[in-house]
Amino acid sequence: MNRAPGTPVRSRRLWAGAFVSALALALPLAGAGQASAADVNNAKNAGFEAGLSNWTCSANSGTTVSSPVHGGTAALKATPAGQDNARCSQTVAVQPNSTYRLSGWVQGGYAYLGVTGTGTTDVSTWTPDSGSWKQLSTSFSTGSSTTSVTVYTHGWYGQAAYHVDDLSVFGPDGGGGGEEEPTVPGTPGGLSVSGTTSSSVSLAWNTVSGATGYTVYRDGTKVTAVSGTSATVTGLAADTSYSFQVTATNAAGESPKSTAVTARTKQKDDGGGSGDLPKHAVTGYWQNFDNGAAVQRVSDVQNAYDIIAVAFADATGTPGAVTFNLDSAGLNGYTVDQFKADIRTKQAAGKKVIISVGGEKGTVSVNDSASATNFANSVYALMQEYGFDGVDIDLENGLNATYMTQALRSLSAKAGPDMILTMAPQTIDMQSTSGSYFRTALNVKDILTVVNMQYYNSGSMLGCDGKVYSQGSVDFLTALACIQLEGGLDPSQVGLGLPASTRGAGSGYVSPSVVNNALDCLTKGTSCGSFKPSRTYPDLRGAMTWSTNWDATAGNAWSNAVGPHVHALP
């Protein structure tokens, strides 16, 4: 969030938009073909069980590791550095005039899989989002004189290491000593319930060797198919018991169903910090400082806002600890007693008032157990002192998923199940489930109220369909929201964060009508742009704005238009 008006777009955000644009334009995605019953895997050492035998990695970038692995006991780990993209390749014997299916399991953002030397059209595929093992797959045909091709993987310059396992080049035997086609995988074990909300159940199970995917059944009916070893089944009734099973699949078929587990969804008000919030809610940030926007007291905040995030708590000299200092001088003599009384008045009217930690200039750091404890204790002390209903995480300079998760769970244990927990990550923070912000949100999903991603100050970004969308369009809002909605968050935990006016952010302002169109597109499938979600999300939480002060400066145009629209959603 911006403390000052007209804050310029930071260079790293421009880089992120240009970076993903370049990636999306550079590599077209190809569809996967099907192998016949007589096909073999022509790749050698496809599971890296023999180290890097048969593989060559640029600049000594590759090694084999025992964890994480998709199958067997080893996997490739390759690390880009400087001008090297950590390319690992193998020459594979093939037959001319034949069709092959190339696939592999990857983990880590910006991992590529491709083939050259086909004699026809070389192909490749990639993913920006693989926090867990994810299968990449494409197909290619060989030319009339092609007897070998080069299969390769690589990462991207300046990015973290990526992992590859169980690579395959299925098709006619090229004479290179290929491996036989897999048999039907075994039944998954270890199925367990990892979390519940009033409308969803999260499941996890053990990896099955040779499996390329898994199918989840609810009460005997198939409900979803995934590539990893976890899934969240949504759209469930509150306070209801369900039975779940899972099977493992590959090209050879589907395993028998696992032992069933039973899970009961929570009551409508249990967990998630929703309390007595409306189904669709509007969040607004209230500025505890004067930066040229209208100076408000909490009592002045427009009635359309259901959650009022007080911006911001301040870091102390103790690692992880925060405090709050009311800017009485900057707010025309607003006293602490008046501030506390106004919070109580808003709460009596059914509103939630929370303390926001971070902001553009925030320096709070939670990176070990001690600082996590300090964070939880200090935020809880502020909740006790001022009557805050919860906390908002708006750390724009990075966070540690492990220790922020620890801090928030500790805080929730102190504050109880009605605690409101919101987050306001930047767009780049929610591009991948492997990112620390996204992982934190998923880690605390059972106590999370809403993630209001900031759709501003970002430049262009990837949508869930792999296409690049420009900031400021209805497609930008819907295609990026889709990443969160399909990445594991419940629709009730997703909100759209936009500036209230052109002065509220350096870039990314859209008219309230665009916000409303995006809300309708996501919840009802209407008013979409070129991107239309494959399904609707009627439980979408709502929208957020920076800030109630900039909204007031612009004559409350944002809250007067978006507020009633949010509250009228299905």
Alpha-carbon dihedral sign for residues 43, 48, 51, 56 = positive
- Identify the pLDDT of residue 31: 37
Q: Give the residue with greater pLDDT, 6 vs 534.
A: 534
Identify the pLDDT of residue 424. 95
Residue 4 has pLDDT above 50, yes or no: no
Residue 238's pLDDT band (cuts 50, 70, 90) = confident
Give yes or no: residues 246 and 307 share one domain.
no
Whether pLDDT at 367 is above 50: yes
Distance of alpha carbon 468 from alpha carbon 435, whole angstroms: 19
* pLDDT for 230: 84
Q: Find tokens 């970004």 and name the residue.
A: 461
Rg (CA), the chain: 25
- Domain ends where: 145, 180, 215? 180
Q: What angle do CA 169, 170, 171 make, to 5 degrees?
A: 120
Q: Is 536 found in the same domain as 423?
A: yes
Query: Tell me, what CATH number does 101's domain have?
Result: 2.60.120.260
CA distance 138 to 32: 4
pLDDT at 439: 93
Among candidate residues 215, 244, 264, the one where a domain is terminated: 264
Q: Any residues with CB less than 8 A from the CB of 568 and at least 6 apart, and which?
A: none
What confidence score (pLDDT) does residue 118 get?
97
Cβ atoms of residues 168 and 46 within 8 Å: yes
My answer on whether 108 and 165 are in the same domain is yes
CATH number at residue 494: 3.20.20.80
User: Is residue 175 assigned to a domain?
Assistant: yes
Q: Return the SS3 of 208.
A: coil
φ, ψ of residue 548 to 5 degrees: the values are -60, -30
Of 180, 214, 235, the residue at which a domain comes to its end is 180
Q: Is a pLDDT exceeding 70 seen at residue 32?
A: no
Residue 256 has what DSSP assignment?
P
Q: What is the DSSP string of 163-202?
A: EEEEEEEEES--SS-PEEPPPPPPPP---EEEEE-SS-EE
The span from the CA of 123 to the CA of 28, in Å, is 8
Which residues fall within 8 angstroms of residue 305, CB to CB, at 6 or more apart?
282, 283, 284, 351, 548, 559, 563
Query: Does residue 5 lie in a domain region?
Result: no
304 burial via Cβ count (<10 Å: 0-12, 13-18, 19+): buried
- Evaluate whether residue 124 is within a structural domain: yes
Contact 296, 337 (CB under 8 A): no
Per-residue confidence band for 215, with pLDDT thresholds at 50, 70 and 90: very high
Q: What is the mean pLDDT of the chain?
A: 87
Q: Looking at the structure, tell me whether residues 94 and 200 fall in a common domain.
A: no
Q: Which residue has the higher pLDDT, 29 or 100?
A: 100
Of 110-119, 241-250, 390-399, the poorest mean pLDDT is in: 390-399
Is residue 499 domain-shared with residue 539, that is, in the same domain?
yes
Domain that holds residue 385: 273-567
Whether residues 409 and 431 fall in one domain: yes
Same domain (yes/no): 232, 333:
no
SS3 at position 132: coil
Could you report the per-residue pLDDT of 337-363, keeping only the tens digit for each? 999 999 999 999 999 999 999 866 667
- Axis-axis angle for helices 512-524, 474-486 (nearest 10): 40
**Structural domain includes residue 472:** yes
Decide if 505 contacts 522 (C-beta within 8 A). no
Query: 238 and 161, same structural domain?
Result: no
Residues 224 and 337 in one domain: no
| pLDDT tens figures, 169-185 | 999 988 865 555 567 88
Range picked from 37-41, 276-280, 439-443 for highest mean pLDDT: 439-443
Cα separation, 246 vs 482, in Å, equals 25
- Least confident interval from 58-72, 105-119, 166-180: 166-180
Q: pLDDT for 118-150, tens place per residue?
A: 999 999 998 876 678 888 999 999 999 999 999
Strands (E) located in 26-147: 40-41, 56-57, 62-65, 75-78, 88-93, 99-107, 111-116, 123-127, 134-141
404 shares its domain with 546? yes
Q: Give the helix, strand, coil percentages of the chain, each rounded to 5.
A: 25, 30, 50
Domain assignment present for 366: yes
Contacts 24+ apart (CB under 8 A), 510-517: 510/472, 510/473, 510/474, 510/477, 512/557, 512/558, 512/561, 512/562, 512/565, 513/561, 514/472, 514/473, 514/474, 514/477, 515/477, 515/543, 515/558, 515/561, 515/562, 515/565, 516/561, 516/562, 516/565, 517/474
CATH code, domain carrying 227: 2.60.40.10
What is the identity of the amino acid at 532? K
Domain assignment present for residue 15? The answer is no
pLDDT band at 49 (very low <50, low <70, confident <90, very high): confident
- Whether 525 and 556 map to the same domain: the answer is yes
Question: What 8-state DSSP symbol labels residue 426?
Answer: B
Within-domain flag for 299: yes
What tokens were used for 6?
A: 């007209």
Which is catalytic among the residues 179, 254, 385, 396? 396
**Better-predicted residue by pLDDT, 96 or 434:** 96
pLDDT value of position 251:
67
Q: Are 7 and 457 in contact (CB under 8 A)?
A: yes
pLDDT of residue 229: 86
Out of 47-61, 239-253, 268-282, 295-309, pick the least confident.
268-282
Domain count, the chain: 3
- What pLDDT is attached to residue 362? 61
396 classed as catalytic:
yes
Coil vs helix vs strand at 459: coil
Q: Which residues have C-beta within 8 Å of that of residue 26, sequence separation ≥ 6?
A: none
* Residue 1, domain member (yes or no): no
Domain match, 232 and 367 both: no
